[in-house]
Amino acid sequence: MTSAAEDTKPFTLGPGIRRAMPADETPIYKAIFDSVMNQRLTPGTKLPENELCEAFGASRSLVRRVLQKLAHDHIVELRPNRGAIVATPSPEETRQIFEARRALEAALVKLAARNATADDYARLRQQLHDEHEAMHRFDQPSWARLASAFHLKVAALAKNPILETYLQEIVSRCSLIVAVYQPWGNASCEHDEHASIANCMESGEVGRAIELMEQHLLELESHISFNRDNDKLSLKDKLGLK
């Protein structure tokens, strides 16, 4: 219901396509990515190359490139000679990821407040409006996407593609963590916090904006909990209750 990402059509990308595709725009990448985010693929799941090949009708070269990229984005883990599995972020990793995110976003807010134009703020408000609307429609998937989009928009306003790319990576990893360890959805009404941050940025209260952003991210992190079916699974195996 959430998305019709069940691409089992005879997608080949076979002979005839020569242009080197950016590999993270491949349908294969997107399908795996979405499946992980929607928890159809849970952490630890093995991803054998051959199965992916015939599932997508692609050759191993492509599948392999896609897995490489997914590994670089920390969506899957690539163990030498042992294949790929869906990444399993540990609590310690999670802590580090959020710490890095706080540091990055603080720096980005500072730069964004320095570099953003009136037009930029107008677009940011549009973004906030869409977010607000999705929330009121109870459109959870769209909302989650838009909530992340706000942070990415702010990052774009900083006009530093390098830091922006880093934040994209980190936000992607955060999304994975939230999807896996907080499956009921990120429930807090983030909208007001986002709006406050934008307000402070536009009115020049940079220090306050940074403070709010850090607070907002701490809030998000505090809602993560690791008591999950992941444990249930390994427990089940360990006790042989099957």
Angle ∠(227,151,101) on CA atoms, nearest 5: 55
Per rule CB under 8 A, count of chain residues that contact its own copies: 24
Q: Does 48 bind its own copies (CB under 8 A)?
A: no
Task: Yes or no: say if 10 and 27 are a contact pair by the CB < 8 Å rule.
Answer: no
Interface with DNA (CB under 7 A), residue from 4, 10, 50, 242: 50
Q: Which helix (H) or strand (E) holds 79?
A: strand 76-79
What is the C-alpha to C-alpha distance for residues 66 and 221, in angstroms, rounded to an integer? Answer: 29
SS3 content of the chain, % helix, strand, coil (to 5): 65, 5, 30
Q: Does 218 bind its own copies (CB under 8 A)?
A: no
Beta carbon nearer to DNA, 23 or 179? 23
Minimum distance, C-beta of residue 8 to its own copies, in the bound complex (Å)? 29
Query: Any idea how long the chain is?
Result: 242
Q: Does 81 bind its own copies (CB under 8 A)?
A: yes
Q: Does 15 bind its own copies (CB under 8 A)?
A: no
Q: Does 64 bind DNA (CB under 7 A)?
A: yes
Residue span binding its own copies (CB under 8 A) among the ranges 28-36, 101-109, 130-138, 200-208: 101-109
Minimum distance, C-beta of residue 169 to DNA, in the bound complex (Å)? 23
Tokens of 164: 């922006």
Residue span binding its own copies (CB under 8 A) among the ranges 17-25, 42-50, 142-150, 205-213: 17-25
- Using DSSP, how many helices (H) and how many strands (E) does the chain show? 10, 3
Q: Does 13 bind its own copies (CB under 8 A)?
A: no
The sign of the dihedral angle between the CA atoms of 68, 40, 171, 223 is: negative
Task: Yes or no: say if 179 and 38 are a contact pair by the CB < 8 Å rule.
Answer: yes
What is the C-alpha to C-alpha distance for residues 30 and 44, in angstroms, rounded to an integer? Answer: 19
Q: Does 62 bind DNA (CB under 7 A)?
A: yes
Site string for DNA, 69-98 (x = CB under 7 A): ---------x-xxxxx--------------
Angle ∠(57,62,66) on CA atoms, nearest 5: 110
- Supply the angle between the helices 206-222 and 91-115 in degrees, to the nearest 10: 160
Q: Does 140 bind its own copies (CB under 8 A)?
A: no
Interface with its own copies (CB under 8 A), residue from 2, 39, 59, 96: 96
Residues that bind DNA (CB under 7 A): 12-21, 47-51, 58-62, 64-65, 78, 80-84
Residues that bind its own copies (CB under 8 A): 18-20, 68, 72, 80-81, 96-97, 99-100, 103-104, 106-108, 110-111, 160-163, 166, 170
